[in-house]
Structure 1
Amino acid sequence: MMNISRLKNLFLLVLTLTLVNCSKTEDIPQDIEINDFVWGGMNAYYKWQGVVPDLSDNRFSTREQLNSYLAGTGTPEELFSSLLSLPNEFPKDPDRVFSWITSDYIALENSFQGIRLTSGMKLTAIPYADNSGNTYVVVTDVVAGSDAATKGVTRGMIISEVNGTQITSGNVNSLFAPNSFTIGIADFNGGNPVANGTTFDISKTEVTENPIKVTTIINQGANRIGYLMYNQFASDFDAQLNQAFADFQTGGVTDLVLDLRYNGGGSVNSAIYLSSMITGQFNGEVFANKIWNEKVMASFSSESFIDRFTNRIIKKDNNGNTTLDEAISSLNLNTVYIIVSEQTASASELVINGLRPYIDVNLIGTETVGKQVASITLYDSDDYTRNGPNFNSRHTYAMQPIVLEIQNKDGQNEPNGFTAEVQISEDYSNLGILGDPTEPLLARAIQYITTGSKPSPILGRRNQEKPIWNSQMRNPDYNTMYITFK
């Protein structure tokens, strides 16, 4: 892996050479210090820095010129947005942005590890079938320990009203924004839900979600099918993930169904670990290649940009001390079955992409998001790290810009998303119980495994409209794939 310390030193050098007679350590007017951080971090790391004129290394020759520019660029958010290269960020939809800035890096850091202020409900919004303009919201999952779970909200419930107001496409996001609200439950009624008088008063609390939602072993004749629903690549749970695969080993699992239908991504390292748990026979071989901006790529050997399959989980703290070092429990599989959806993104897609040159990767579900790029968290310090010199404690801004593209060993990725060969979507009138062999998507995966043939595509939604919103969009780490930068 790339030497991050050398990378930080490189960009301190680049910054010094770029601005003649000035340096990062000079006094910067306090009214532009956040904007200075934004420009400096984007100039150093943004993947498409070379095609954004205002990020050019030759854009400013003196500190005074840079200061004058920064004073006229508006808020940090406005400056950040002006420096993005949108057609490159997400070719599938040029108006969609995967880079972002936050004024609360504590919430961002917590979100990466599944710690969020949340009602506990994972929600998907669907237009009414009658084209009335109304929208209903389906509870697709409830986080254990949350207020919604305590109150008795369950997967499959239909919400038509919040605080007595009918949900529409225009108000759905704002209705679920407050820290407390009352939801009105409805009967499905063929896609035109009717309120049934049941209500729940819901409050948001800080909850740590275990991303390992369900693990079970299903016996189907000679097949012992391991099922894992994994909802986030959260590195704090890598050891628990490894234990799940140790249990699969002990249980004699012959086949694996990996359910990533609600997994928007997370840590690249966790994706490497998971892929090494599924396989094991490719230790040391190329899993993925990282492509940074030209300044980075020109400064290191090609080996520095390669991620490889591994047989150990090794974690270190900010001081370089080892906090975890254990052997990976691998299944040595040559085939894997993965459940995907329109919420499957980034690190989830990396697992699919990294594995497919080596083993048969069979997808069940709908088309995935299409996100082949990754980010790092940049803070306002001399080297842009959380514990770097001259860390600015006068604000809590941080950036999460896209800094690299990831390809598999054959130079492939899918910026338009992966299309499942067995196409089935969730039927919101009959979601089923996660992990139960009769749950529609899992049942289709089991059928695929046991018959050896692809069932004919049957859309579970029938005539239902496609989702227009989901509550995961509110999370600071929505659809994020990131590498750790310390």
Structure 2
Amino acid sequence: MTNPYKVFLICFTAFLFFGCFEDLDDNPASVRDLNNFVWRGLNTYYLYKDEVPDLGNSRFTTSEYENFLNSFNSPEALFEHLRYQPQTVDRFSWITNNYIELEQLLNGTSLSTGMDFGLVRHPNGSNNIFGYVGYVLPNSSASLQGVTRGTIFYAVNDVPLTRSNFSSLLQNRSFTINLANYNDNGTPDVLDDTIIPNGQSITLTKSALTENPIFKTALFTIAEQQVGYLMYNGFTRNFDAQLNAVFGDFKANNVQNLIIDLRYNSGGSVNTAILLSSMIAGQTGNVFSTEVWNTDIQSALSVAQTTNYFTNSDNGVPLNILNLSKVYILTSKRSASASELVINCLDPYIDVIHIGTETAGKFQASITVYDAPDFRRINANPAHLYAMQPLVLKSLNAVGYTDYSFGLVPDVLFPENYANMGTLGTENEPLLAAALQIIRDNSRVSPQVNQALELVADKHMFAPVEVGMYVNP
């Protein structure tokens, strides 16, 4: 990517668990100094700076500024005060008190049971929720204890899951899930579905795991055409070469139709998103996306610095490009940031058949801001480990489409049926079967159920940071 700001969409997938420095400077930073760092960083980079009066360049005299800083008892309190409409507009900015843990987490290793799960509101509309398992990582606690795709759990440590308690129950290093059966009562209407405890339970323990985002690939012959399938669960730079190799295999097998499964993919590197999109569609040299920053930064950047392009190589290594005019992409409400970027930025160039449910609606990017004169890691203040991840830009596709805060709407509404989740990568898996039917019949399919149940949380929401775009300035 030509943008010197080199954007990454990072999916933060687990708890921060790594050790930090045992000793900091003998003179730790005061609350006032930490608050000064927060204000300076947001005043410089924050995307919504112009909408927050207290971030104005001429907002305070010197004495007023000191009084303002001292009126907040923690950097977290000031940070939250300066966020712009956090319930609706800025849902994704955050602050951490340990950037060492953050940096190690970004290397791809996290504490996990190996169980990918979503938490969904009960069909009866109560505040009770249940968990479903999307997939299980090999050689993990979940795989060793017999958790499989489609496993349903209604309680943890014998305590039924609710909106108010799920976080405390599932954040522990070890816990027991109490299992249930999902009964759709033989109808497509989710409102009469029930969750029935079955008396079984499984105890799981988290350990350090590194997840390969290339979870499943497959080839099918449909209507005398080769169809490639890829379940891709995270845009992780460390696996770009393997992703290119997958497309090399698709190319060698003359794949004419491609299904990309992003239903559990909540983000990763935008460079990887560009590579994946380029391998699908080609379009070398055409605009992939453009960036909009706050007024001060935008005025200092050239068009070239805020534009990303499709490419035919990765650091000089040729990409295996299929040059397709159509792609089928499977999504859920858990599909976010880089997943949405691929859909949105391919759409002006090729026919994107979007199957599943609306996506998460994350189109903004953030940056790691350190307490340093230039806000970079190399000059970070040794007196503390605070860093911020404020939203600093939003991404637009080649025709300017952005601000999809409610998610990207599918062409074919097809929520997962928790009573019949099927086996990933096989023709009996419902969403994959729907895509194959469209390819076979060149037609649309009816939704599996009338509506999707409300997603309350998933495994990615247990880290103290949100999914979003990450920018290296």
Q: Give, as a single letter, the amino acid of the residue that structure 1 aligns with 2:219.
A: I
**Alignment partner of 1:332 out of 323, 344, 348:** 323
Q: Pairwise mapping of residues 254-265 of structure 1 onto structure 2 (< 5 A)?
A: 254-265=256-267
Deviations along 1:165-216, whole A, 9 cap, x unmatched?
A: 2222322222111111111222224443333232221111111111111111
Partner of 1:468: 456
Q: Deviations over 1:112-162 (max 9, x none)?
A: 443211222222223444556533211122223322122221111111221
2:303 matched residue in structure 1: 302
Check whether the contact 1:107–1:476 (CA below 8 A) recurs between aligned residues.
no
Q: Distance in 2 between matches of 1:129 and 1:360?
A: 34
Q: Displacement of 1:261 after TM fit?
A: 0.7
2:401 aligns with one of 409, 412, 415: 412
Residues 1:116 and 2:110 aligned together: yes
* Residues 1:252 and 2:243 aligned together: no
User: For the structure 1 residues 298 and 223, does the alpha-carbon distance in structure 2 shift closer, same or farther, using more than 3 Å as the test?
Assistant: same
SS at match of 1:361: strand
CA distance in 2, matches of 1:241, 1:475: 26
Q: How far, CA to CA, are the matches of 2:350 and 2:417 in structure 1?
A: 30
Answer yes or no: is the 8 Å Cα contact 1:111–1:477 preserved in 2: no
Relative to structure 1, the CA distance from residue 258 to residue 167 in structure 2 (aligned partners, 3 Å threshold; closer, same or farther) is: same
Letter in 2 for 1:234: T
Once the two structures are overlaid, the 10-residue window that deviates more, 300-309 or 391-400, is 391-400
Q: CA deviation at 1:269?
A: 1.3
Instruction: Give the alignment's TM-score, normalised by structure 2.
Output: 0.88
| Residues 428 and 107 of structure 1: CA distance in aligned 2, closer, same or farther (over 3 Å) | farther
Q: Which residue of 2 aligns with 1:220?
A: 222
How do 1:315-464 residues align onto structure 2 when only pairs under 5 Å count? 325-387=316-378, 389=379, 391-413=380-402, 414-455=404-445, 457-460=446-449
Greater relative CO (CA pairs within 8 A, separation 6+): 2
The alignment's C-alpha RMSD in Å is 2.3
**Which of 143, 146, 154 is 1:149 aligned to?**
143
Alignment partner, residue 16 of structure 2: none
Q: For the Cα contact (< 8 Å) 1:107–1:116, is it kept in 2? A: no
Q: CA deviation at 1:28?
A: 11
Which residue among 223, 239, 242 is the counterpart of 1:240? 242
Matched with 2:160 is 166
SS at 1:193's partner residue? strand
**Alpha-carbon distance, 1:229 to partner:** 0.9
Q: Secondary structure at the match of 1:266?
A: coil
Give, in whole Å, the separation in 2 of the partners of 1:28 and 1:205. 32
Residue identity matched to 2:382 = S
Partner of 1:431, secondary structure, is: coil
> For the structure 1 residues 476 and 111, does the alpha-carbon distance in structure 2 shift closer, same or farther, using more than 3 Å as the test?
farther
Show the counterpart of 1:8: none
Q: 2-side partners of 1:292 and 1:464: how far apart?
A: 35
The gaps in structure 1 that reach 5 residues or longer are 6-26, 315-324
Q: Does 1:48 align with 2:48?
A: yes
1:185 and 2:179 are equivalent in the alignment: yes
Residues 465, 298 of structure 1: alpha-carbon distance in 2 compared, 3 angstrom cutoff: closer
Q: Provide Cα deviations, 1:53-109, integer angstroms capped at 9, x if missing partner.
A: 1111112344x55343222222111111111112xx6xxx62761111122323433
For residues 295 and 128 of structure 1, the distance between their equivalents in structure 2, rounded to whole angstroms, comes to 47
1:32 aligns with 2:23: no
Pair 1:289-2:290 in alignment: yes
Contact 2:357 2:452 in 1 (8 A): no
Give the share of equivalent positions with the same residue, in percent. Answer: 41
Which structure 2 residue ranges, 5 or more long, are not aligned?
A: 7-26, 185-192
| CA spacing shift, 1:50–1:129, aligned 2, 3 Å | closer
Q: Which amino acid aligns with 1:51?
A: E
Compute the displacement of 1:338 (Å): 0.4
- What is the match of residue 468 of structure 2? 480
Distance in 2 between the 1:39 and 1:102 partners?
Answer: 15
Q: TM-score, normalised by structure 1?
A: 0.86
C-alpha distance in 1 between matches for 2:267 and 2:71: 36
Is 2:356–2:415's contact at 8 Å kept on the other side of the alignment? yes
- Structure 1: how far apart are the matches of 2:210 and 2:457? 23
Distance 1:55 1:451 in 2: 56
SS of corresponding position for 2:290? strand
Counterpart-to-counterpart distance in 2, 1:278 and 1:403 = 29
Q: Tell me the alpha carbon deviations over residues 383-437 of structure 1, each in whole angstroms, 9 at most, x when there is no partner.
A: 11222x2x22332222111100111111112333211111100000111111112
Give, as a single letter, the amino acid of the residue that structure 1 aligns with 2:48.
W
Contact (CA 8 Å) 2:366, 2:393: kept in 1 or not?
Answer: yes
| Aligned-partner SS, 1:288 | strand
**CA gap 1:145/1:43 in 2 versus in 1, 3 angstroms:** farther
**Contact 2:108 2:210 survives alignment (8 Å):** yes
Letter aligned with residue 430 of structure 2: P
> Following the alignment from structure 2 to structure 1, what is the Cα–Cα distance between the partners of residues 124 and 91?
32
Change (3 A) 1:106 1:165: same
Please say if 1:71 is aligned against 2:70. yes
Q: 1:308 & 1:386 partners in 2: Cα distance? A: 28
Offset at residue 337 of structure 1 (A): 0.6
In 1: Cα distance, 2:127 partner to 2:471 partner: 41
Q: Describe the SS at the equivalent of 1:199.
A: strand
**Is residue 257–residue 336 contact of structure 1 (8 Å, CA) maintained in 2?**
yes
Counterpart residue identity of residue 292, structure 2: I
**Cα shift at 1:246:** 1.3
Which residue is equivalent to 2:187?
Answer: none
Structure 2 residue aligned with 1:231: 233
1:59 aligns with 2:59: yes
Look up the equivalent residue of 1:257 and give its one-letter code. Answer: I
Partner SS, residue 468 of structure 1: strand
